[in-house]
Each structure stands twice: as C-alpha cells, then as structure tokens.
Amino acid sequence: MATRGRILIVSLHARPEQTGNAPYVGSLATGLAREGWRVRLLAAHPHYPQWRVYDGYGQWTRTDIESGVRVDRLRHYVPSRPSALRRLAAEVSFGLRALTTRWGRPDAIVLVSPAMVSSSLAMIRARLLHPRTPTVVWVQDLYGQGMSQTATGGRFSRALIARAEGRLLRAADRVVVIHRRFREIVLDRFGARGDRVAVVRNWSHLAACEPSAPPREVRAARGWGDEIVVLHGGNQGVKQGLENVVHAARLADEREADVRFVLVGHGSRNAELRRAAEGVERIEFIGPLDDGEYTAILAAADVLLVNELPGVSDMAVPSKLTTYFRAGRPVLAATEPGSITAEEVADADAGLRVHAARPDALLDAALELGEDPAARARMGAAAQDYARRHLEESAAVAAFSRLLHEVVSAPADPDRLQPPDGRRTP
C-alpha cells in the first residue's frame, strides 16, 4: 500500500495504559498505519492511573516500533500524589519535552486533549515551526467543563483554563470530538467554526480480545457465588465519585442484601476508597487487569456500573461504556439526569439510571436488575447491538483517515500562516 503521508500524534497517554484515552490513541495510531499512513507517536512513559512509571520504563527518551508505529516516549514529571497543581506541572513538563523534541516533517499533526495544557504548548510549536502543516485536535474530555462540574480550582483558574482551551480549539484546522454534545459545546462556548468540527465516536478497544476464562470459572476463582455482582471498571478518580458505591455496599451490609460491589482498576482516589471501605463486607477491590482478564471479569459480572460525581453531565463520555456495551451485560448508571452517560445508556436501551450520590437508589436498582434475569439478558443484547451499529473501530479509524486526507490535501489556510497570538502579519 502506498504511503498516504506522515502523521505525528502528540499524546500524554498511550498504551500500555489501559484506562482513559490511552487505548484509543494506540488503536488510532495502529489503525492509521494499516490505512497506509506513516505514523509517529510522541507520548509519555506509561504511568496512569497509578501515578507511577511502569516497570521497565522511565528512560529519558525511549523509542519502540509497535505495530508499525514509531513510539517515542519522553520522561516527564510524574507526581506520586497528584493534586491539581501537581497534575498541571506534569502536563507542563511533558509539553515542554514535546516542544523541544525533533518532530521531523509531518504532513499533519494530531494533538490529543487531554492533556489540554501540553497540547496547547505543542500547538505553539506547530504554529511557529510548522506553519503550513495542518493541525487536528482530538478532544476526549473538555477541561473547562470538567473543572466546573467537579468544583476543581477557583473561579480565576477555571476561567483561565477555559480561555486556553478555546484558543487551542480555535487554532486547529480541524477539531475531532467523540460525541455530538461535545460538538455543541465546542461551537457554542468556544466559537469554533462548524465546518471544522467533526464527530468520530470512540469504540471498544477490547472488541477483539478473547476472555481469559469462561464466566463460571472466573466467578469460582474470585469466590463469587450466586450473589448479584455489580462491577465498576476503570479509573477511580474524583469525577467517578465512588464513595457512593462504598456507601451502597455498607447499606447492603446493613440490609444483608445478596449483592457484591466490585471496583476493578486504580486511580487517585483508590487509597481513600479502600480506607473508607474498611469493615464493609459487600465490596471488593481488584487491581488493574490485562485485556483478557478484564474482558473475562466483565462477562462474569451481572451488572456493570458507571458512577459519576453529582454535577458531572457533559465533561466526558465514559470510555468504559464502549467496553461495557460489548460485554453484553446491563449497565447501571448513577449519574445526573440529562448527562451524556444517561443519554448513551438510554439510546442503547442498555440499562437503568439512578441519581448520582444516592446509595439507596443504587442498591435498590442493583437488586432490581439482579432479580430479573430476563431484563438483564434483553438489556445486554441491546447494548451489544448498539455497539455493533455505532461504535465500530474500523468505521472510526476510516473516518479519521478520511479527515486527515482532507486536511493534508486542502490548500493552506491563511489563518494558519499568522503568528500564534492571532494578529495578522502586514
């Protein structure tokens, strides 16, 4: 296959990280390589969500070839206790590394947000040193929305971040978002041009992964009996609000309900959640699993849980949903009415929604689903059908490839030839 052109992707997160946008970045890079693009990925060393560089990594610079993609990993500051300020410092340090690394001569540059701050630094480099090279910003989360909806930082810092995010998105030749609600926000709140904003849905990065064991064997190995297993997979951070699940498990103990809540993964709130759950019998913590084990444990659960902090509505599309739908299990969403998560579950007819931070409602809904195997089977089948129709990796990669072909083939945008402060040259 003839090479279509050279693509540089700049992303703080990449495989072997298993949560957040890392799996999608890896799948997109390898998918574009299969489509005939020559792909190079600038990424940090894997460290998320544990906030510790993985064993075997950590060199100042490390280059690997992974499925036809050149991956250059750059060492940056990784805080062991990721406060908001330290996370900002981590992003800045990666952005500075990306800023000062040789980029070669790409035909198009893809910047992944998050991380928005490091992407903004990379955009400065792109505008100054590669003014004729088109840039694409791939938006997985909206920073400003996230800060507002999780009450992170003060009013000034939120305004500053929102302004920086808007400048980044308006500077791009194309913005790719993962949901139509994101597109509305990017157009309405950040003033991006409608013809520059495209929607490409995420997909299940575990779709082709075989489970490591059948569900019955997984349950037996974990010591699970006939109780209703409600499983939450992925990051355990602030926006997940998983204290709600701990409270629901404590309430289940009090009621002697035949249910078990299982939290699989890691994150910045993991230690606090474990402390809060001390003495609670009906909750279990399991560390990060490889793809085969994770696929197997999803299939072994009775109900798959999305839990969100009160107020979280349209800052992100939970990446776990794409994988949940593929697993063929009903989804229980503890989230705000009208949130993206609620909308996705309703569109797929894949489960139930209860209010965020209502442990009694969470427990009641878990028991309701657990006691109705016919409803679970119907919802699980609907979820799989929705994933097949709307969340296929091949369709997403092909759409992204077409968009890149368009921006590479298009005449240079006069606005891109201006200095990054937005002032026109005489």
Q: pLDDT tens digits for 99-155?
A: 999 999 999 999 999 888 999 999 999 999 999 999 999 999 886 665 555 556 667
Sign of CA dihedral 365, 369, 375, 379: positive
Q: pLDDT tens digits for 305-323?
A: 999 999 876 666 778 898 9
- Determine the Cα–Cα distance for residues 124 and 367; give it in Å rounded to an integer: 53
Nearest to 262 by CA among 284, 243, 291: 284
Residues of the chain with pLDDT under 50: 417, 419-426
Predicted local distance difference test score (pLDDT) of residue 143: 64
The pTM of this model reads: 0.82
Predicted local distance difference test score (pLDDT) of residue 426: 28
- Determine the Cα–Cα distance for residues 167 and 409; give it in Å rounded to an integer: 24
Beta-bridge mates of residue 404: none
Report the 3 state secondary structure along 144-201.
Answer: HHHHHHCCCCCHHHHHHHHHHHHHHHHHCCEEEECCHHHHHHHHHHHCCCHHHEEECC
Predicted local distance difference test score (pLDDT) of residue 169: 93
Q: Between vectors from CA 93 to CA 92 and to CA 94, what angle results, nearest 5°? A: 90
Tell me, what DSSP letter sits at residue 356?
T
What are the helix (H) ranges across 349-417? 359-370, 373-390, 393-409
SS3 at position 113: strand
- Determine the Cα–Cα distance for residues 326 and 391; give it in Å rounded to an integer: 9
Predicted local distance difference test score (pLDDT) of residue 79: 94
Helix (H) or strand (E) holding 21: none
Sequential DSSP letters for 272-304: HHHHHTTT-TTEEEE----HHHHHHHHHH-SEE
**Residue 236 falls in which region: left (phi positive, over 0), alpha (psi -120 to 50) or beta:** beta
- Determine the Cα–Cα distance for residues 417 and 101; give it in Å rounded to an integer: 22
- Determine the Cα–Cα distance for residues 204 and 395; give it in Å rounded to an integer: 12
Predicted local distance difference test score (pLDDT) of residue 421: 46
Which residue type occupies 172? A
